[in-house]
C-alpha cells in the first residue's frame, strides 16, 4: 500500500510570491493529524455503482465540496479510471480546479453561474445549469456578445423546493419556458435533470411522485420532439434503489465515498474511503476529581490517564462530540473527555495498557477490530455523514493510499 500526499498549497504560494519556502525535507513527513483517503475504496465503490446501472447509463461522479472532503482531483481521476464518464460540482470554481488539473471529462456545474463565467468556460468541457428563463436570457446575451455558445442542462424542481422550473405548479408554463430557452441562439441545451428530496428514505412515496412528474414532463417534451439527449435524476440512493430513475445518466455522490445515503438504502457493499488519523501529543496521569478542558465540565470520577490529541473543531471535528464520542488507541475505544477545543481534544486512556506519546489515534476509521464510523460521529452530532466528511477543513492535509 502506497501512501502519498496531494499537494502543499502553502509551498506553491510561497514559490509564486518569491518567498523562499521552508525546508521541504523537514516538513514533508507524515503530519501528526491527517485525513487518509483510500483510492482503492473509491475505485471499488465506483465499480459497484456502475454495476447497478445498465450499460447504456453513464455515471457522473459528484465531486463537489472538494469531493465531500476527500480531495476532488484525486477522486475524480480515480472515478474516471473505473467507470465514471462525467463529473458534477456545485460551483464554477470547482469545475475550473478540475480543468486546471488536466481532467478532460465533461463537468456539470449544478449551481447558478454568472453569465461571464459561463461564457469563459466555453470550450473547456464545462456545462452550466439553467434554472429559469431569466438566467437563460442573461447567459444567452453574454454568449452572443462573445460570439460563442454555452452548453447547458435545464434544472427541474419536481419537489425539492430549491432551484429549477416547477412543472408541479404549472406544467404548461414550464413547457413554454423550456421552449423559449431551447430556441435561444447562443444556448445549446444538452440535458435536463431533477433532484430527489428523499430517495434515501424507507418510504419512497415522495421520490416516486417526483419521478412521475419528471417523466410526465419528459413525455410532453418528447411529443414535441424537444427532448434533450441527456436525462438524469438519480442521486446515490436512487442509483441503488430506483432503477427506473436512471435514464441516461446517474449522479452518485455520498455512495462514491463508501457512505450509506440513508435508512432506505443498503450500503453494506460500499467501502468507506476516509479515515482521520492522529498521534497522542501528551499523556497525563491524573487523580480523581481532576477537571478537564474548558468550563471544567468534566471532572474525573477515578484516577486515570488523559491523552491529548491534536485535532479540534478548527479541523472540522465537531464540538458537539464533547464528552460523547470515542477515538481508537491500540484497538480500544477511548472516550472524548471534556469539551473539544479548537486545536486539541482530550481522551481517557486509563483503561488501555502501555499507552505512550506518539501512539497512533484513529479519530475516524478502523484500528484492529474496532471502527469509528462517520455515521457514528454524525449520530452523536445530530447531523448526517455528509457533514462529517465535507466539514473537514483545509487545515488537515490529505494523504492517499493506493495499492501499486
Question: Which active-site residues does the annotation give?
Answer: 64, 294
Residues 6+ apart with CB under 8 A from 349: 280, 283, 304, 305, 306, 307, 329, 332, 334, 355
Collapsed DSSP state (helix, strand, coil) of residue 257 = helix
127 phi/psi in degrees, rounded to 5: -105, 145
Q: What one-character DSSP code corresponds to residue 165? A: B
Is 162 among the annotated ligand-binding positions?
A: yes
Q: Does residue 342 have a known ligand-binding role?
A: yes
Q: Count CB atoms within 10 A of the CB of residue 276.
A: 26
DSSP secondary structure letters along 97-140: HHHHTT--S-EEE-S---HHHHHHTTTTTEEEEE-SHHHHHHHH
Residue pair 329/307 in contact by the 8 Å Cβ criterion: yes
Give 19: exposed, middle or buried? Use CB within 10 Å, 0-12, 13-18, 19+.
exposed
Q: DSSP string covering 326-376, please?
A: EEEETTEEEEB-S---SS-EEEE-TTSTT--TT-EEEEEEEETTEEE-HHH
**386: number of Cβ within 10 Å:** 18
**CA atoms of 280 and 315, how far apart (whole Å):** 16
**Number of other residues whose CB lies within 10 A of the CB of residue 151:** 19
Beta bridge partners of 371: 366
Beta bridge partners of 231: 192
Binding residues for substrate: 162, 342
Binding residues: 162, 342
Amino acid at each position: 500500500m502506497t501512501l502519498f500526499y496531494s499537494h502543499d498549497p502553502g509551498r506553491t504560494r510561497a514559490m509564486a510570491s518569491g518567498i523562499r519556502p521552508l525546508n521541504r525535507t523537514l516538513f514533508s513527513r507524515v503530519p501528526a493529524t491527517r485525513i487518509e483517503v483510500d483510492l482503492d475504496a473509491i475505485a471499488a465503490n465506483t465499480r459497484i455503482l456502475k454495476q447497478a446501472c445498465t450499460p447504456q447509463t453513464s455515471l457522473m461522479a459528484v465531486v463537489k465540496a472538494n469531493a465531500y472532503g476527500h480531495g476532488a482531483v484525486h477522486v475524480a481521476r480515480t472515478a474516471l479510471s473505473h467507470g465514471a464518464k462525467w463529473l458534477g460540482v456545485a460551483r464554477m470554481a470547482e469545475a475550473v480546479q478540475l480543468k486546471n488539473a488536466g481532467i478532460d471529462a465533461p463537468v456539470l456545474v449544478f449551481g447558478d453561474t454568472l453569465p461571464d463565467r459561463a461564457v469563459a468556460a466555453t470550450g473547456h468541457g464545462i456545462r452550466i445549469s439553467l434554472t429559469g428563463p431569466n438566467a437563460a436570457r442573461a447567459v444567452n446575451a453574454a454568449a452572443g456578445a462573445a460570439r460563442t455558445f454555452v452548453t447547458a442542462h435545464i434544472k427541474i424542481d419536481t419537489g425539492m423546493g430549491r432551484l429549477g422550473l416547477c412543472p408541479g405548479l404549472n406544467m404548461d408554463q414550464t413547457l413554454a419556458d423550456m421552449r423559449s430557452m431551447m430556441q435561444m441562439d447562443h444556448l445549446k441545451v444538452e440535458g435536463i435533470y431533477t433532484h430527489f428530496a428523499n430517495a434515501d428514505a424507507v418510504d419512497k412515496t415522495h421520490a416516486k411522485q417526483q419521478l412521475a412528474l419528471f417523466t410526465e414532463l419528459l413525455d410532453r417534451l418528447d411529443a414535441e420532439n424537444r427532448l434533450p439527449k441527456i436525462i438524469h435524476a438519480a442521486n446515490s440512493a436512487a442509483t441503488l434503489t430506483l432503477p427506473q430513475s436512471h435514464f441516461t445518466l446517474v449522479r452518485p455522490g455520498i455512495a462514491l465515498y463508501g457512505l450509506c445515503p440513508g435508512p432506505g438504502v443498503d450500503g453494506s457493499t460500499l467501502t468507506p474511503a476516509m479515515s482521520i488519523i492522529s498521534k497522542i501529543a501528551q499523556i497525563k496521569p491524573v487523580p480523581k476529581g481532576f477537571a478537564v478542558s474548558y468550563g471544567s465540565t468534566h471532572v474525573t470520577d477515578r484516577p486515570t490517564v488523559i491523552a491529548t490529541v491534536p485535532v479540534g473543531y478548527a479541523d472540522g471535528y465537531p464540538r458537539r462530540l464533547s464528552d460523547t464520542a470515542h477515538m481508537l488507541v491500540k484497538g480500544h475505544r477511548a472516550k472524548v473527555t471534556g469539551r473539544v477545543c479548537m486545536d486539541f481534544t482530550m481522551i481517557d486512556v486509563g483503561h488501555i495498557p502501555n499507552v505512550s506519546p506518539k501512539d497512533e489515534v484513529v479519530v475516524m476509521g478502523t484500528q484492529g477490530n474496532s471502527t469509528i464510523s462517520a455515521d457514528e460521529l454524525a449520530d452523536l452530532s445530530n447531523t448526517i455523514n455528509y457533514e462529517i466528511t465535507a466539514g473537514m477543513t483545509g487545515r488537515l492535509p490529505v494523504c492517499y493510499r493506493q495499492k501499486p
